[in-house]
């Protein structure tokens, strides 16, 4: 077989693989969109990709008195925004301290970050429940935010520290010669240069509350405090007679704020995702 034929076969195989992966990724999304536009409540009562689509379920989510969807959406946005902003600020400060300063316990602190990443969060659920109950933050959005922010620090701080390590220390030294203090160096030099990795951290922490079900399920009890993942569960249990079409409509709308934040941060994301791997 000639080299030209081999090259064509390789290109064909690559495109075939990409088409296969696109089908796997796109079909569930298209199927969910089609399901959200179908009348009825069942998964299989009517064909998904047929005529008869309407926005009845989307209208129901925002207008029916029985639906708490708007409240759940507000709760989730509140938790996501506060978590993203707070976690990004705390993580950047912690990472900067570990990257630029040498202090007693620094080495063991880094080891602790690595150790904490090895254990799944499910192991701490009972302890978190008892902790929030003892400080009267059980069934509270602020308690949920506290857990999200604290849980995001170990892995992300280690990642951002690696990015800070790639920034030349000569910039710090030059700023110190000009009379800049620690906080001025951090805010005027380090943060602008670390925008790519901080954008990644902000996006991941923003997405978390939209996707997480287990932690809100354990900590939240009042329907008015539910997040979207927990609230949508009601659409597929006995309370709403297994209404999968409304569930699909509510699930599709979750992508709107995530896509908006992604578009805002996209120019930083590619650089940030490929950075932070340098260990200091």
104 Cβ contact list (under 8 Å, min separation 6): none
- Cβ atoms of 64 and 243 within 8 Å: the answer is no
Q: 3-state class of 272 per DSSP?
A: helix
Residue 271 is predicted with a pLDDT of: 61
pLDDT at 85: 95
Q: How far is CA 22 from CA 18, 28, 50, 197, in A?
A: 6, 11, 22, 28
Distance CA 214, CA 226 (A): 12
The predicted pLDDT at position 172 comes to 83
pLDDT at 278 (0 to 100): 43
46 Cα distance to chain centroid: 34
Query: How far apart (Å, rounded) are the C-alpha atoms in residues 198 and 152?
Result: 13
| pLDDT at residue number 28 | 82
Mean pLDDT split into 10-residue runs, the chain, 280 residues: 76 90 86 80 59 79 85 95 95 90 83 78 83 91 93 88 87 84 85 88 93 90 90 72 79 89 81 48
pLDDT reported for residue 4 = 75
Q: Are 227 and 214 in contact (CB under 8 A)?
A: no
pTM: 0.83
Give the H or E element holding residue 183: helix 182-185
φ, ψ (nearest 5 deg) of residue 166: -80, -10
| Calpha distance 54→37 (Å, rounded) | 5
């Amino acid at each position: 077989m000639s080299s030209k034929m081999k090259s064509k076969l390789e290109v064909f195989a690559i495109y075939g693989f990409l088409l296969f992966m696109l089908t796997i990724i796109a079909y569930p999304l298209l199927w969910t969109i089609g399901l959200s536009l179908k009348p009825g409540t069942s998964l299989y009562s009517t064909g998904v990709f047929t005529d008869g689509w309407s926005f009845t379920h989307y209208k129901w989510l925002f207008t029916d008195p029985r639906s708490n969807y708007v409240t759940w959406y507000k709760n989730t946005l509140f938790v996501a925004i506060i978590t993203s902003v707070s976690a990004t600020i705390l993580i950047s400060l912690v990472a900067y301290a570990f990257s630029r300063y040498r202090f007693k316990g620094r080495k063991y602190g880094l080891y602790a970050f690595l150790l904490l990443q090895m254990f799944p969060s499910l192991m701490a659920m009972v302890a978190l429940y008892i902790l929030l109950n003892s400080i009267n933050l059980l069934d509270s959005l602020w308690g949920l935010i506290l857990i999200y922010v604290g849980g995001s620090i170990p892995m992300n701080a280690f990642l951002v520290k690696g990015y800070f390590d790639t920034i030349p220390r000569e910039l710090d030294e030059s700023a110190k010669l000009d009379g800049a203090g620690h906080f001025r160096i951090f805010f005027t030099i380090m943060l602008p240069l670390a925008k790519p990795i901080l954008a990644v951290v902000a996006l991941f922490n923003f997405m978390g509350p939209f996707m997480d079900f287990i932690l809100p399920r354990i900590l939240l009890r009042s329907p008015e405090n539910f997040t979207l993942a927990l609230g949508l569960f009601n659409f597929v249990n006995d309370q709403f007679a297994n209404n999968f079409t409304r569930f699909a409509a509510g699930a599709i709308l979750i992508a709107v704020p995530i896509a908006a934040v992604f578009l805002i941060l996209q120019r930083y994301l590619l650089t940030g995702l490929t950075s932070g791997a340098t260990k200091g």
